[in-house]
Structures are given as C-alpha cells and as structure tokens.
Amino acid sequence: MIPKLTDRRGETFKHRPLGFRGHVTPWISVNLPSPRRPSARCAERMAEAPRSCDCFVSLPPGSRDDHVIFGKNSDRPRDEVQEVVYYPAASHPAGSLLECTYIQIPQVEQTHAVILSKPAWILGLERGDSAWAALSVITGLLEQHGQGGQCREDPEPFSYHNTFLLLDRTEAWVLETAGRLWVAQKVTEGVKNISNQLTIGTEISAEHPELRSVAQAQGWWDGEGEFNFSQVFSPENPPARMELAKQRYRGGTELLQQHDGSVTAEVMMSILRDKPSGICMDSGGFRTTGSMVSILPRDTSLSCIHFFTATPDPSRSVFKPFVFSECMTPVLRVVSPQFGPDDPVRKQPRFQSQVDRRHDLYKAHQVALNAMETNPDEGLARLSSTSEEHPQVETSSARRAAGEGPGSS
C-alpha cells in the first residue's frame, strides 16, 4: 500500500497501506526482490507465482479533466484482510515515541488526518503535506532505520525492498530503493505506472548521495557513461517472478496508454478490474485484496475524493467514496477487530497463531460471493447490498469532484 508521511500509527517501510493525508498525498509502495545477486534461497522463493502490486497515476493532459487520478491494487496473500481506517489530526508530546509494526521511532509533534487502506495486521505511517515532503520523510527514515521485517502474517521468512508512488494535486514522484539507497523520478504530466520491479533508468530527478559510489565500489558500474539505475541494481540473473512482474508492468502500461488523454476515475477503476492483464489477480495463493482510486482536482476549491473497496477482487467489489471533512464519522463496518497484546503480531515469537481479522463488510462480501457460485441472481443482489451505495455512486461521486453535480464543493 506505502513510506510516508504523518500519522499516529506507523510502519517504517516494509508494508504498504494505501493512504492519503488530509487532502493531499497518497503514498503507495510495491514490493521488490532484494537488488543485485539474490541468494539461492531468495531466488527460489521469488520463482513462485507473482506477488505483485500495481500503482497508476494520470496527470493532465493524460487525464480527461484537470485532475490527478490515482489507482492502486494491493495484491497480498489471498486470505489477508484489508481494512479502511481513519485517524484524525493530533498533537503529540515532545520526545514521545511512535509504536510501529516492528520498531519504535521518534514521534513528530503534529500529525495530519489520514485515511488508510491496509492489511489489518500492520500499522500505517503518514507524514508530509506534499509528494516531495513525503519523499523526504521516507528517505530520511530509510537512512536511519533501513528496511526489512516480515512482510506477511506468517512465520516463514519473507521480506523485500520497496518502490513508491507519491503524488499530490500538482505532481508525482516514483521512488525506488535498494537497502538504504534510493533514486527518484519526478512526473509532472501524462500517465505512469509501477509494478514489482525497478523502472527508473537514466531519467533520475533525485538520488541518494552515495548511490553511484556504492555501485562503483561493488563493481556494478564502472563509472563511465550514463548511469542507469534499473540496469545497475537489478539482479544479473532475474528469477521467474521478476520476469512475470515485467509482463504485468507492460500490461498496465498498455492499459494506461490506451486511455492517455481521457483517464477518469471510472477508467482507472476499469484498469484495476482488468483480469486478462493480470492487474486484477488471483493465483498462487495471492489475490487483489484491496483497491483504491483517488481524484485530486488541481482546483483547490474542489474536494479530493478517495474510493476504497475494503474487499477483495475489485471486479466483484464496489468502490466506496470518502471525502475529508470537519466532522468525520467512523465507518466501523470496514475496521477489523483489535486483539491488543494477545495479537500474534505483538507476541514473541511472532506469527505463531492466526486470528479472525475479518470486518463486517468483508464477511458480507464473502457471503455474497459464495451465493454467486450457487445462485448468481441472489449473489448479485447480496453483493449490491454490501454497501449503502450502488455502483452508480462511482460515477456520480466522480462527477461531483469535477464540479458537475450537486454537492461538488
């Protein structure tokens, strides 16, 4: 889902909730195999079915309207539950610590309101009020703490490095990492997507000050000619999993390019629901467990609208809208149960047992999908009833963001 930016609950860099601070910055991350020569054990794991996430952004003139449009599919272990949680802005005592999923880090004195779609067993971090501020926070924490930690709720070791898509109303940044090293590319117009691989070549807008010297010292780059990050830091013998990720990346690029100049929230939802490309995936024990689409009008007098499924498989889910306002009412149907100190994530050793993290909407969605297998008409009716809004809300809410309907302000 994320690296980011300001909030009361946080995880440094390992996992990625899909999140927005107030009206501005979403930060999303997708997992990457460790850069350069992975161990035989790592390569064996990576040869399994693809465990990919896909993030998309369209900036004018790629968008039909004067909007930045964002989309994200979070592809995770198929039984993992994603919740959608809201945390209000808050003040914190000087010198206080923030409890993350695995470590503690210094808390900042003021945090912004944030909406997160995330695996229910991890915590989410949000700091910053622009894409560039988010990038600065991420790289600063990366320098201090590095990245790692278990990336799924299971005792079998599994971790990865991350790449992020950060955006606000005016621009986007792609941030890719290798250990504490990083490189970033600024995107100011058109369409862009990322998947589970390094995509930044020579189009580097910012980088870690020691990036090139480390590459030379390791013998990965001779210091001559143009520096190409993805070539220098990718494994010499990519495992099958990375080759499959390339197919997903190309498929996502093709879908975006087909709509270049006409991207809307509805178009982005259709891309996230696309099964032939593998963007909407269900294979090898992994599937799309949560999806998100956001509309960020460049006109700051218009509200941003963020859509979340909070349920698996966007092709059989409704995108529900969320708008930041002064008076927020928690939607408990999409918040998972809490287990406190008895949570297997908190107990040592970790992940020795499983708990039922399903929230009410997730359970209702399961019932609807099961009914569709035996009685399609009844199942479709149940699926529609899992939300107060019907699918038409996706279109009507998008129009409000464009100022085309009542309540657009």
Q: What distance in Å separates the CA atoms of residue 294 and residue 274, rounded to the nearest whole number?
A: 18
Q: What is the CA radius of gyration of the chain?
A: 20
Q: How far apart are the first and last CA of the chain?
A: 29
Q: Quote the strand ranges of 260-325, DSSP E.
A: 282-283, 286-297, 305-308, 320-322
Q: How far apart are CA 23 and CA 29, in angstroms?
A: 19
Residue among 150, 166, 60, 177 nearest 349 (CA) = 150
Q: Is the preceding omega at residue 376 within 30 degrees of 0, hence cis?
A: no
Q: What does residue 16 show for φ and ψ, rounded to 5 degrees?
A: -135, 90
- Answer whether 283's CB lies under 8 Å from 50's CB: yes
Task: For residue 294, give the 3-state DSSP assignment.
Answer: strand
> Token match 């923030």: residue?
98
Annotated active-site residue 53? The verdict is yes
Angle at 148 between CA 88 and CA 7, to 5 degrees: 10
Tell whether the torsion through CA atoms of 133, 134, 139 and 141 is positive or negative. Answer: positive
Six-digit token pair at 162?
């991350």
Cα torsion 224, 225, 230, 232 to 10°: value is -10
Contacts of 373 (CB under 8 A, 6+ apart): 379
Centroid of chain to Cα 278:
17
**CB contact at 8 A, 11 and 90:** no
Q: With contact defined as beta carbons under 8 Å apart, do 24 and 126 qualify?
A: no
Q: Give the integer Cα–Cα distance in Å for 57 and 74.
A: 15
Q: Which of 53, 55, 100, 280 is catalytic?
A: 53
Distance CA 269, CA 73 (A): 10
Token pair 């990375």: residue: 242
Instruction: Give the catalytic positions in this structure.
Output: 53
